[in-house]
Amino acid sequence: MNRSSKILDYFWVDENGNETKYGSINIGGFIDQETYPGHLWRFKSGNQIMGEYITGSEEEPMYMITNPDAKLLQFEDFTATYNPEAMTQIPYGFTTEYLPQTFWSKDEVYDLTTAESATIEFYVMCSDTAQEILVALSQTRKPYGDPEADALTFRFRPELLDIWVRSKFYDNWVDYDDLDVDDISMGTNFWQKYRIEISKTALRVAIDDKYLIKADLTNIDFPLKGYFGFDIFGKQGYEHTTIGYMGVLIEHHGKAAPVATQPAETQQPAAGEQPASTGTRGAEVLTATLPDATLDKPGKYYAIVIAVQDYEDGGPNDLDYPIQDAQRVINTLTQFYTFDMENITFLQNPKKDQITDVFDRHLDKITPNDNLLIFYAGHGYWDERMNQGFWLPADAEKNRRSRWLSNGTIRDYINGIRTRHTLLVTDACFSGGIFKTRAAFNDADRSTNELYKLPSRKALTSGTLKEVPDKSVFVKYLLKKLEENTDNYLSSQALYTQIRGPVTNNSPNAQVPVFGVIRETGDEDGEFIFVRRK
């Protein structure tokens, strides 16, 4: 199972060390591969080996690949407060009788004093809907039922599709916002993934990658570092049922902000001398100045790649090529340019809320010195009455615009994600009053470094407001020019000038690609620059 943040290639390795590629595993994906005992399988991201596995004699072996800096907790990493003999080891976890007991990690495994945030993922298998899933973060390893408890505790109950969050003892409830995801379910007799995303001030909880709640922790007292645990209260009549826990994965993200200190006392100005004006009233406001960006030290390159080809019943016709096109885009960006796999988010057949959730996460994830490329392949629709374009996610339905993603919403996110440069690349319509086209040959006398310094928010589209062919001529020549480029730096405008003619000449409807500024998003006439790998 691929629990890393990268798409992995997997290889069979012969006795001489030669690799034969068998396929790829998407993030969160599984493979089902026939093999024999003693075979060596290797899992790689580019040239980086992420893991190796020698098959044994078991009929259904399980092997889990994680990021190198992630902590994977297994059977031996937990200790039982009561009834340790009830624990039965399984790959990457354990099962236990549903008896009153608590399982804590043996070591401290999360730390929000040094990290900006943490993600805790785990799988649970209930055998009865009346069972409860209790998860705790604690410094003292005392669960919420103890009067001296310090734990932040989460309870999930499949029977009621219910969740609550408490801090310390019984009566300290944490208020949260319900994200109203209609199709979330908590079931029995199968492994279900839970995820807790937490910082000092905020919390989100997801089940099977669908967000259930979010909460403000600003005024909540909970331990910022400590142990992770599962708690079982037990329930009369269910003592002989079992519950299983597997694949607990803990990752930290970013560095915690330094603790604010009081400014040094300022010297009182002499009589008749005026203090320097700060432009504020009552207090001096200190703001960090963004350093000039240069191509010698560019920020990180992020990509959000969205492909929709399989639509739900009642939606548009299915397509054949968007996922393939999107995967080729990812391969080109990572192989030829300075995009790293850990900074690429690949959404395959996402629903509308899954797309906006990813945009939400990038609001805080990206810094003003970084760069973002957004790629969309899938159905689009131009609404003449509203003078508005829409992307159609996997859950889109005819005449239900609440399930469509409007160009206006996309523009708002592009405005909100504070990058150095954002480039939107899409076959689907993105035009109208929010799109300002540019001439093809502007800025010929401006240096690449100058173009990179100034922020930009631009879009490169196929140029049509009508239905585009499933097999995209636009994507074909986009990738061809990116791969054929030999210059160290390629601006988005230069890329546009190179694909405009070939796309127009070879498309069945003579479509003309469009390149321009996305209005009211903070564009300052800079350019997104593709930096070629050396």
pLDDT of residue 433: 45
| CATH 2.60.120.560 applies to domain 71-255 | yes
pLDDT surpassing 80 at residue 95: yes
- Predicted confidence (pLDDT) per residue in 343-391, tens digit: 999 999 999 999 999 999 998 889 899 999 999 999 988 877 777 788 9
Structure tokens at 532: 């070629």
pLDDT of residue 25: 84
Q: How far is CA 379 from the centre of its chain?
A: 22
- Predicted confidence (pLDDT) per residue in 268-278, tens digit: 333 333 333 33
pLDDT surpassing 90 at residue 529: yes
Structure tokens at 326: 């999107």
Neighbours of 246 (CB within 10 A): 21
pLDDT of residue 181: 62
pLDDT surpassing 50 at residue 290: no
**pLDDT range class, residue 7, cuts 50, 70, 90:** confident
pLDDT of residue 468: 54
**The whole model's pTM is what?**
0.49
pLDDT of residue 119: 93
pLDDT of residue 61: 59
**Coil, strand or helix at 436:** strand
pLDDT surpassing 50 at residue 81: yes
d(CA 308, CA 322): 6
d(CA 478, CA 53): 38
Distances from the Cα of 38 to the Cαs of 43, 219, 258, in angstroms?
Answer: 16, 55, 50
Mean pLDDT of 164-185: 78
pLDDT surpassing 90 at residue 522: no
d(CA 182, CA 402): 14
The DSSP 8-state label assigned to residue 401 in this structure reads G
Buried b (16+ CB within 10 A) or exposed e, 348-357: bbbbbbbbbb
Contact 351, 392 (CB under 8 A): no
Sign of CA pseudo-dihedral 306, 312, 317, 318: positive
DSSP for 142-195, please give it: --TTSTT---EEEEEEGGGTEEEEEESSTT-BPP-EE---TT----SSS-EEEE
Structure tokens at 204: 């989100």
d(CA 478, CA 460): 10
Residue type, 138: S
Task: For the chain, give every domain's residue range.
Answer: 8-54, 71-255, 301-531
- Predicted confidence (pLDDT) per residue in 184-239, tens digit: 777 788 888 899 999 999 999 988 888 888 999 998 999 999 999 999 876 666 66
Neighbours of 310 (CB within 10 A): 14
Mean pLDDT of the chain: 81
**Coil, strand or helix at 101:** strand
pLDDT of residue 281: 26
pLDDT of residue 262: 39
Domains 71-255 and 301-531 share a fold: no
By mean pLDDT, which of 2-6, 34-38, 58-62, 137-141 is the weakest? 58-62
pLDDT surpassing 80 at residue 438: no
pLDDT of residue 470: 58
d(CA 428, CA 433): 16
pLDDT of residue 442: 44
| pLDDT over 90 percentage in the chain | 37
The residues facing 49 across adjacent strands are: 44
d(CA 71, CA 227): 13
Contact 462, 503 (CB under 8 A): yes
Cβ neighbours of residue 419 closer than 8 Å, sequence gap 6 or more: 299, 302, 366, 368, 370, 371, 372, 455
Give first-to-last CA distance, the chain, whole Å.
32
Cβ neighbours of residue 301 closer than 8 Å, sequence gap 6 or more: 333, 337, 338, 339, 340, 343, 370, 371, 373, 531
Q: How far is CA 164 from the centre of its chain?
A: 25
The DSSP 8-state label assigned to residue 61 in this structure reads -
Mean pLDDT of 502-531: 87
pLDDT surpassing 90 at residue 46: no
| CATH 3.40.50.150 applies to domain 301-531 | no
Cβ neighbours of residue 137 closer than 8 Å, sequence gap 6 or more: 110, 151, 152, 153, 198, 222, 223, 226, 227, 228, 229
Cβ neighbours of residue 272 closer than 8 Å, sequence gap 6 or more: none
* Pairing assessment for the beta strands 301-307 and 344-348 based on DSSP bridges: parallel
